[in-house]
Amino acid sequence: MGMFDGIAGFGVTFSTMFKKVVTEEYPLVKKVTAPRYHGRHQLNRHPDGLEKCVGCELCAWACPADAIYVEGGDNTPEARFSPGERYGAIYQINYLRCIGCGLCIEACPTRSLTMTNEYELADDDRQDLIYTKDMLLAPLLPGMEQPPHPMRLGDDEQDYYVQGPEMAKRGLEQAGEHDLDTDNRAGANALPGAALVGKAPEDQR
Amino acid sequence: MTQAPEQEAPPVPEGHVRLTIDGRTVDAPKGEILIRTCERLGIVVPRFCDHPLLEPAGACRQCLVEVEMGGRPMPKPQASCTMTVADGMVVKTQVTSAVADKAQQGVMELLLINHPLDCPICDKGGECPLQNQAMSSGRAESRFHEHKRTFEKPLPISDEVLLDRERCVLCQRCTRFSDQIAGDPFIELLERGAHQQIGTEETAWGAGEEFQSYFSGNTIQICPVGALTSASYRFRSRPFDLVSTPGQCEHCASGCSTRRDWRRGGVTRVLAGEEPTVNEEWLCDKGRFAFRYPASPQRVLQPMVREDGVLTPVPWVDALERAATLLAGARDGRGEPRTGEDGEELAPKRGVGVLPGGRLTVEDAYAYAKFARLALHTNDVDQRARAHSDEELDFLAGHVAGVAPSHVSYAHLEAARTVLCVAFDPEEESPIVFLRLRKAARHGTRVVHVGSWTTPAVVKTGGHLLAAVPGEEPAALADLPDDLAAALAAPGAVVLVGERAAEVPGLLTAVSELGARTGARIAWVPRRAGERGGVDAGALPTLLPGARRVDDADAREAVAAVWGVPSLPAAPGRDLTAMLTAARDGELAGLVLGGVELADLPDPDLARAALAEADVVISLEQVLSEVTEHADVVLPVAPAVNRSGTYRNWEGRDRPFATTIDPGQGGSGRVGGTAAVTLPDCRVLDSLAVEMDVDLFTQTPQAAAAELAELGTVAVTPSTPATRPSSPDVSDGTRLTSDDSSGPPLTGRVRLATWRQLIDGGALLAEETDLPGTARPPRLRVAAGTAERLGLVAGEPARLGDTLDLVVELADLPADVVWAPSHVPVPGGVVTLAGLGLGHGDLVDVAAPVAAAVAPVVAHGEPQ
Amino acid sequence: MSEPEEYRPDPLTPVLTRRWLLPESWTLRHYTELGGYEAMRQAFAMAPADLVSLVKDSGLRGRGGAGFPTGMKWSFIPQPKPGEEPTAATEDAPQFKPKYLVINADEGEPGTCKDTPLMMADPHSLIEGCIITAFAIRANFCAIYIRGEIVHAIRRLHFAVQEAYAAGHLGKDIHGSGFDLDIVVHAGAGAYICGEETALLDSLEGRRGQPRLKPPFPATAGLYAAPTVVNNVETIATVPSIVAGGKDWFRTMGRERSPGPKIYSLSGHVERPGQYEAPLGTTLRQLLEMAGGMKDGIPLKFWTPGGSSTPLFTDEHLDVPLDFEGAAEAGSMLGTTAVMIFNETVSVPWAVMKWTEFYEHESCGKCTPCREGNYWLAGILRRMNDGQGTEEDIDTLLDVCSNVLGRSFCALGDGAVSPITSGIKYFRQEFLDLCQAQPAATDRVLAGAH
């Protein structure tokens, strides 16, 4: 037995003491995810606040976990929720089933459905984990108006789709923002949950 | 189809030609369209305008193939949907020919240049031939840099059908359907060139003839793109989210196959099923669009018992127990002793009558029939919730009960040289029979209608009307024109008689006699889906299951043996009116009612009085109704989508169907958003009988059907004439007799002709908001001369009887006759002529209404 | 190209046009004075079948564009065999149905102007031709479907028909021959497609003017599903002269397979545009001589031999004999002999665009290739002429043309693409020059692709 035998057994301990700590201080310190992290979904809006979702159900079709339920509805002159004829009247994502694969956002033809970096998706009630449309819709940015309201940015939906990116740019510049993409990934990443109005405060649930 | 081996070619069969398609030799019947021959070989040639039930058009040019005739290739690719096969033809489809493939790709590219890219929101997306064929024969990238043609959209061309002209590929299927099949040319091509579009008179001119067709929904189904969409299905769902289940239409006795598409416990749309022997590929708008009634807020979803005058939901066990106790007491006369007006003691009321209604499956009707005989010990069972007579019972026993489709079927109608319609307006009363008659008429069949005016159905089936004054149809049949009598004597002639023949005393006897005289085959076409099955299942006072007569002791014995009872009640039962009269007069203690609408009955007031007077009223219902208001116990029964069973159509053909939505399993247990497990009538009756210590063995429709099959049918010779001479019930003073037909009618008194229209506010249409727009507006029809005499003006309202105001329309009625629909939908219900005490052949007062007297029921046309 | 046939001393052969320059040439009096209605009397003396053979032997070919032998067309009309009586089985057979003669006077091909002046100047030659033809095919009803826009010609034709009735040339038992004939002059409503014979028949029946599916051909199921002959005005107006002059005389004009005179309508950049009647096979060089040469001496650039539906010719084709075979051999068609002549000041892409816009407007819309193809072609050509085209647009044009040619329901689609394909064939550089401003790689905004 050598003289170091007594402390040889602490080799692992000591070496570990000088390694980088892997423990995360969650929830005291929230980790910033990779920019393309597949977090909670968001239903985006056109620059005037109309919904981008057209209720096409392609996300629901693409979903391998059958986590999405959509029903379309008819926009009427009295109640318009999106440009064009159709809007998503019912929109639900069941986060008990969602596996975060992102096939739904690939399927979305209008870039209405995107994923944020919000990852705090745990709860103690099954019902609370079925997110409805009002919870998933993106917050109203400056210049946006809560639907239903008439189309503000053009005469028909083509104006929204063809000139949409341009209009978004103009609208955001006016609002003093620099993020050109209304899907708001970066914004959500910087302040997790801050941009998401859908998730109701704890005391209301 | 035969594949000929190369070494020894078998001879070409008679009437066939031999051709080569993509290197394969095939024999095809002469005159076959090339595209069908390809189909039989399993070669799918893309197409849009081609439809097997429509005449070829050659408009879309998508189906181009290369053809070689007599060794010489044709210089241009040929449209395979218009070319008939010929001997020695060599065909190369896109599979083997680069030219054909290029031609198809080119046409597809051209079709897509003006087609909007709105597949994600299009109702057709996912089941769209254009999408599929763009994938199979289209380019991946567009070369089109110009502007797409745009139109305003959507354009409602009727209350049920929306048109999106941007998506239209102008294949003309819809216009050809309207012209060739339905005969209602309501949509046409307008404009030309790239601005050509589908439209109606209204879309072309801003105003025009009212769109009206009972078959408009079929244009949606045959549209190969999403140009014609359904208002009720619009944006409700995507096809890939739907479960498609075959079903049978519950709305009439035509017996159509349907396809029900549903999700989340509710049907989202109904499509026509393919059934070449019955409805081909068509469906009327009633069958297609009237499917929301199971989601009615009026649905009964739990058993209810009347407690202190209020219906209270209770568990099944309690409800069945209560119903059984009440029924047993009423059956045995154990009710309270009654005191007469003079204070003398009367015997307690005794007996229970059964009114199953006409909407039942065969199994349910059988259960009612068996329940009446075994549990209630009576033959008092009558499914006919409509005008009826003893004469009709004899007719049904002699000509209808147990008759197989081999006697008269749709195929017979198509093959017949002559068809005579008696008391039957096919378009209003059995729309698919109408379509088949029209098809036959277009191919030379002479369809003659005995009626009072040239209805649209008469016009569209060749325009042969044998005018008869209402009530005098028997005389018209007895004295047919010679050529018609001769035509009916020719083989294959058919006489179709409607259920309302029972309204005219002697008419069914006259039909029997006509059949016996000429040899023409007779078929009875009832309106409701369950009527024909009910006749065979014994839901009539004089008939036992399997066409056995109650007054035949051997027949009773045979049935009793199968049912495992010593004997059956021998006395023929009372019919509906007799039962209701007995109940009103205190002779009958109880009534068991199925889906009966009091407004449909010949005397609704009598029915109301009877229900009020009866001690025990048990109602098996889907929705709260006038009957449930009087019921002591309400037992919920399942609508057709939530159960299995069999309808028997007018031909006698069984139309079995399985459960579409099992409320206990899929669909989260919801029916149209409401949790419910309802049971078929036969199961409810079985349980009820068990509570009364009787076994019906009808726990499931399958069990009931098996027993009914075991009973079998006694041999029926359909040409047997009615056994009883007509005994017209002439107690009613207004009923037409020979006396008052001789003199001129009093001023304002005219004879009434009436029958029901297809869409007239029945209970199963209650939830449909758009369908009434497709209905024909209720009108009072009168000849010009009579209108003048009565002071009526076309387009202005006239008053029929005391209260009913209808807009006048001129038609070719006989003098001093008016026609009105027997059911007039009004806000919140239906006004029936029967409810006003008026019937077919009655004398009625008609006058221009005094201004501002009674608020008009119908002012200008549209049902509310 | 084959050697031009022997030059005839006088290319002008006034047969159809011989009365045109008379004052009030359209009256019955003048027509009769110059031997009018003599052929009718001669014809009544002949057996109908002999008349059909006479016209067949004369080699007369349809003047409406396709050049189908007229006598053969007449012989397709099913006639009862001698002594054949209708039985219950055959009473609906075509030979026992009434026969109809329909005259296609819906002259709408761009550049064509031969039937209108004929009906203006000499309507009775048409009416006499109708009587002879109807007699030959045993028709008792003749409809003249005339283009609705030419109201002056409609009026004149109406007047002529009235005159013919008054003179007993029409009506019951004409001149004791036992032959009845009624003529109805029916004005169209302004659709180019109604010059297509089956669309014309649909229009005449009161339906939407769109071509019908063939077979059945009009000869067995035409007007009201009865056997029908549809002939061009000029064809029928030629018939009396054949009956009067005989087949041998008729064959002295024109060439072996395309005999007879023909009215050439010269328009565009020539000194004296107008109608020139000359034997079939006359060349443009000869016609230009007659018409005084190119206007102001500016050289010829391109021309159409038979209206805009026939492929273009250039100055290389001055000596192409203008008959059915000659034009076809040179890669075009004789069409309606509407010779439109363009000098060097005219841009080919511009002219082609204008023609294509005509076809876009006049496509009936029934079939996809013609309806959508012309819409697209016109769009591309407009863009090119606006200087927004690219080189690949030329390939797209040609490819779309190949997808329309031979794929459409009727010949309208085929005709519509011929100016484009022939224009690019002969003048590709001009199209390329238009695209100079726009290199092929330009990333254009897909304006329509939404």
Which residues touch A6 (CB under 8 Å, ≥6 apart)? Answer: none
State the DSSP H helix or E strand holding residue C401, giving kind and residue range, or none if neither: helix C391-404
- Per-residue pLDDT band at C450 (split at 50, 70, 90): very low
Distance of CA A124 to the CA centre of its chain: 21
Query: CA-to-CA distance for B23 and B2, rounded, in angstroms?
Result: 14
- Residue B783 and residue B811 in contact, taking contact as beta carbons nearer than 8 Å: yes
Mean pLDDT of C335-339: 94
> Number of helices (H) and strands (E), helices first, in chain C?
16, 9
Q: Which residue of B has its CA nearest to C214?
A: B82
Chain C residues with CB-CB distance to B188 below 8 A: 208
Best of C444, C445, C450 to mutate (most A CBs within 10 Å, chain A): C450
User: Which residue, chain included where needed, has tokens 């649909």?
Assistant: C202
Best of B64, B99, B146, B175 to mutate (most C CBs within 10 Å, chain C): B146
CA dihedral for B83, B88, B92, B95, sign (positive or negative)? positive
**Are A54 and B120 within 8 A, CB to CB?**
yes
pLDDT digits (tens, 9 = 90+) for A150-171: 998 888 888 888 777 777 676 6
Q: Which structure tokens are listed for B411?
A: 């195929």
Q: Is B517 left (phi over 0), alpha (psi -120 to 50) or beta?
A: alpha
Chains that touch B (3 or more CB pairs under 8 A): A, C
The C-alpha of C376 sits at a distance from chain A's nearest C-alpha, in angstroms, of: 21
pLDDT digits (tens, 9 = 90+) for C10-58: 556 688 999 998 889 999 999 999 889 999 999 999 999 999 999 999 9
- Whole-Å CA distances, B327 to B224, B571, B592, B594, C53: 56, 20, 9, 15, 95
CB of A154 less than 8 A from some CB of B: no
Query: CA-to-CA distance for B632 and B620, rounded, in angstroms?
Result: 11
Q: Which structure tokens are listed for B160?
A: 């049920």
Residue C218 scores a pLDDT above 60:
yes
From first CA to last CA, the distance across chain A in angstroms is 64
Residue C71 scores a pLDDT above 80:
yes
Q: What would the DSSP string read from start to end of B282-340? A: ---HHHHH---GGG-TTB--S-EEEETTEEEE--HHHHHHHHHHHHHHHHHT-S--EE-
Q: Which structure tokens are listed for C75?
A: 């012989």
User: Which residue, chain included where needed, has tokens 């199961």?
Assistant: B683
User: What phi, psi does B541 have (nearest 5°)?
Assistant: -65, -20
Residue A193 scores a pLDDT above 80:
no
Which residues touch C155 (CB under 8 Å, ≥6 apart)? Answer: none
Which residues touch C276 (CB under 8 Å, ≥6 apart)? Answer: C12, C263, C264, C266, C287, C290, C291
Q: What is the largest CA-CA distance in chain A?
A: 91
Distance of CA C99 to the CA centre of its chain: 23
User: Which residue, chain included where needed, has tokens 């000596």?
Assistant: C319
User: What phi, psi does C70 have (nearest 5°)?
Assistant: -65, -45
Q: What would the DSSP string read from start to end of A139-196? A: PPPTT--PSS---SS-SSHHHHHHSHHHHHHHHHHHTT-----TT-HHHHHHSTTTT-
Q: Which structure tokens are listed for B379?
A: 């033959």
In 3D, which of A40, A57, A37 has the Cα closest to residue A108? A57
User: What phi, psi does C244 have (nearest 5°)?
Assistant: -75, -40
Q: What is the pLDDT of residue C222?
A: 95
Bond from prior residue into B491 cis (ω within 30 degrees of 0): no
The C-alpha of A103 sits at a distance from chain B's nearest C-alpha, in angstroms, of: 16
Mean pLDDT by 10 residues, chain B (864 residues): 60 93 95 95 95 95 95 94 95 96 96 93 94 92 90 87 94 95 89 91 76 90 96 92 94 96 90 95 95 89 94 94 96 80 79 95 97 96 95 94 93 96 96 97 95 95 95 94 94 95 95 94 96 96 94 94 94 95 94 94 95 96 94 95 94 95 57 64 96 95 95 70 42 41 61 94 82 88 93 91 91 94 88 91 87 46 39
Among A13-27, B540-554, B814-828, C316-330, where is mean pLDDT lowest? Answer: A13-27
The 10 Å Cβ neighbour count of residue B276 is: 12
Q: Residue-wise over B220-239: b if at least 16 C-beta within 10 A, else e?
A: bbbbbbbbbbbbbbbbbbbb
- Cα angle at B729 between B727 and B731, to 5 degrees? 140
Question: E strands of B227-289, at which residues?
Answer: 228-230, 243-248, 257-263, 266-272
Eight-class DSSP state of B400 = I
Residue A199 scores a pLDDT above 50:
no
Chain C residues with CB-CB distance to A161 below 8 A: 450
Query: CA-to-CA distance for B144 and B231, rounded, in angstroms?
Result: 32
Mean pLDDT of A132-149: 93
The 10 Å Cβ neighbour count of residue C86 is: 13
More confident residue, C198 or B203: C198
CB of A161 less than 8 A from some CB of C: yes
Q: Is C357 left (phi over 0), alpha (psi -120 to 50) or beta?
A: alpha
Mean pLDDT of C342-366: 96
Q: Which residues of B touch C (CB under 8 A)?
A: 56-62, 64, 75-77, 82, 102-103, 105-107, 109-111, 113-114, 117, 142-149, 169-170, 172, 188-189, 191-196
Q: What would the DSSP string read from start to end of B486-525? A: HHHHSTT-EEEEEGGGGGSTTHHHHHHHHHHHH--EEEEE
Q: Residue-wise over C295-329: b if at least 16 C-beta within 10 A, else e?
A: eeeeebbbbbbbbbbbbbbbeebeebbbbbbbbee
CB of A74 less than 8 A from some CB of B: yes
Rg for chain A, CA atoms, rounded: 22
- Total number of residues shown for chain A: 205
CB of C444 less than 8 A from some CB of A: no
- Per-residue pLDDT band at C89 (split at 50, 70, 90): confident
Which residues touch B728 (CB under 8 Å, ≥6 apart)? Answer: B389, B391, B505, B506, B735
**Are B61 and C365 within 8 A, CB to CB?**
no
Chain B residues with CB-CB distance to A110 below 8 A: 120
In 3D, which of B390, B705, B715, B383 has the Cα closest to residue B538? B383
pLDDT digits (tens, 9 = 90+) for C253-262: 999 999 999 9
Q: Which structure tokens are listed for B556?
A: 């009773």
Chain B residues with CB-CB distance to A81 below 8 A: none
Chain A residues with CB-CB distance to C450 below 8 A: 158, 161-162
Chain B residues with CB-CB distance to C360 below 8 A: 193-194
Q: What is the pLDDT of residue B266?
A: 87
Chains that touch C (3 or more CB pairs under 8 A): A, B
Residue C267 scores a pLDDT above 80:
yes
Sequence letter at residue A140:
L
The 10 Å Cβ neighbour count of residue B827 is: 7
- Per-residue pLDDT band at C203 (split at 50, 70, 90): very high
Residue A184 scores a pLDDT above 60:
no
- Residue B119 and residue B131 in contact, taking contact as beta carbons nearer than 8 Å: yes
> Of A60, A61, A74, which is closest to B235 when you measure between CB atoms?
A74
Q: What is the pLDDT of residue B461?
A: 96
The 10 Å Cβ neighbour count of residue B493 is: 23
Q: Which structure tokens are listed for B746?
A: 């009093």
Q: Which residue of B has its CA nearest to C448?
A: B147
- Residue B91 and residue B38 in contact, taking contact as beta carbons nearer than 8 Å: yes
The C-alpha of C443 sits at a distance from chain A's nearest C-alpha, in angstroms, of: 16
Chain B residues with CB-CB distance to C403 below 8 A: 102-103, 105-107, 109-110
Long-range residue pairs from C273-279, CB within 8 A, at least 24 positions apart, any chain: C275/C17, C275/C20, C275/C113, C275/C114, C275/C117, C276/C12, C277/C12, C277/C13, C277/C14, C277/C15, C277/C16, C277/C17, C278/C11, C278/C12, C278/C13, C279/C8, C279/C11, C279/C13, C279/C253, C279/C254, C279/C255
Q: Which residues of B touch A (CB under 8 A)?
A: 118, 120-121, 125, 153-154, 234-238, 240-241
pTM of the entire structure? 0.91
Sequence letter at residue A78:
E
